[in-house]
Amino acid sequence: MSHYTTPRPEQVRAARSLLGWSQTDLATKAGVAISTIADFERGQRIPVPNNALAIRQVLESVGIRFTETAVSHGFELTFMTERGISTLAITFTAEASASILELTSIFGEVDPAKISFKFIQCVTPELRHKVTDFVDRYQKNAPHLFRLRKLVTDMSDGEFFLLLQAPPTSSAEEFRYGEVLRRLNHPQDQLLDEHNQVFGQLLELYDIFTPRTDKRLDIGNSRKADRICRFCGGTTKTKARFDKEAHAIPAALGSKYLKLADECDTCNQYFGEEIEPTLVELLNIQRVFLGIEARSGSPTVKFPSGSMFRNQEGDEMMVVVSEKISQDASGALTAQLGRGKPIIPQNFYRALSKIALSVIPEEELPALAKTAHWVRYGEAGDKPLPNIATAVVMLPPEPSAQITLYLRKAPHPTLPHVVCEFRLGCYMYVYALPFSENDESNLIGFFEEEDFKQTFRHYGFVPSWRQQDYSASKETQVIQSITLQPRNTSSGKPAA
């Protein structure tokens, strides 16, 4: 049923019964006359569209769910553990309310006047037994309850977790809940204050958004008729097609699951042919070094003077074949690979920005209309681009590239509206989305601004950053080389 379809009279009566509302209660909350509710429930007249919409929306706002054949009440339980946040949707009809009271009694208290959940929970053998027994009895009709059992069985006895009324609405709120959990589970940990000193100001000024890349996630509208391309504004009404599968992060960088629904086929083809090849070309050495799996498996990269690949037998070591290999006094080997394919440096920045625009929450897009236009059409006039900061950071490896967005909450004269952190293994790229309507400056040199350093203090722990200019819009070729240090003198990493 469409979100704006008028519910049937019997559905409205059932909804009021579930909520314990009178006709007067519903009329007052919906802002309509009592006679409108009374006549509608008696089947004497159908409310005008605006009144029908108001009735439906006020009922849905308190958890009522309408289907073609029934009406049910619903709510969500949000569990926060040290492993992450999980939300479980619970819907029920009046006939099934007893099972909901039973569930509530496991995690809270039930009395004739109200039910309530306890904010702080602790795993005990008794709790684990109650959850397992409840899920075993009701899982047939609600298969998703297995997630509840898994959540509890994955935790140790004595481990604390939080039961929230709703998911955290900001990174700062999530951080505060996380701090409560850490203090409960690690009371002797002295690192909490240091952690707050590093990230406290950042979380006050920015929300942090990191989409998962380890399971299927489709960003955007599921119905093609509702889709608006984030880059050209095309819709099905303007003859845009949305048949191709669009990756938010190129598949060549290991991304299998993160997809963008709101990207039309024309833009998808353009990015795949004109923009993303530059990103992949400049990250080819890193792809082989890290063993990033693409659609066709581990990549083999060829250059005029050599090639790189990973040995698929035995230890899967990286193999470098070159016509020009030299060794210096320290034992370091340098392989000259020759000129790579022609690339346009600015396309590297556009490709990184395209990734950010693909995953950014939809409400941020209006302020980034000029950014999207530049990413799609390359038209920036004579406006300069800020540098991209790059570094090698020893972080745990991931099978896919990762993207983290820092979204500024309020106006600021120097801090960027959107700061992006793109990571491919140990290689990190920090950049700002240019041309945002919410930025008061052109962001040139933002990475060296004192406000930025004081806000993004964690970047100060990286020993060396390189500022790279990717503003050139003319085609060029990059001479590629790789240097390998002996293990006893260096950690050994490629340099391009």
Q: Quick check: 190 pLDDT over 60? A: no
What's the pLDDT score for residue 9? 80
- Overall average pLDDT of the 252-257 stretch: 87
Q: What confidence tens digit (pLDDT) does each residue in 474-483 have? A: 998 877 777 7
- Overall average pLDDT of the 15-26 stretch: 82
Residue 291 backbone class (left: φ over 0; alpha: ψ -120 to 50; beta: rest): left
What's the pLDDT score for residue 248? 95
Mean pLDDT of the chain: 83
Where is average pLDDT lowest: 145-159, 161-175, 255-269?
161-175
- Overall average pLDDT of the 212-239 stretch: 90
What's the pLDDT score for residue 263? 97
Q: Quick check: 69 pLDDT over 50? A: yes
Q: What confidence tens digit (pLDDT) does each residue in 363-420 have? A: 999 999 999 999 999 987 668 899 999 999 887 667 788 999 999 999 999 999 999 9
What's the pLDDT score for residue 3? 43
pTM tops 0.75:
no
What's the pLDDT score for residue 438? 97
Residue 40 backbone class (left: φ over 0; alpha: ψ -120 to 50; beta: rest): alpha
What's the pLDDT score for residue 8? 78
- Overall average pLDDT of the 115-134 stretch: 89
- Overall average pLDDT of the 417-434 stretch: 95
Q: What confidence tens digit (pLDDT) does each residue in 154-173 have? A: 999 999 999 987 788 777 77
Spell out the domains of the chain, with CATH numbers in brackets: 9-69 (1.10.260.40), 73-189 (no CATH)
What's the pLDDT score for residue 112? 55
Where is average pLDDT lowest: 269-278, 320-329, 381-390, 457-466?
320-329
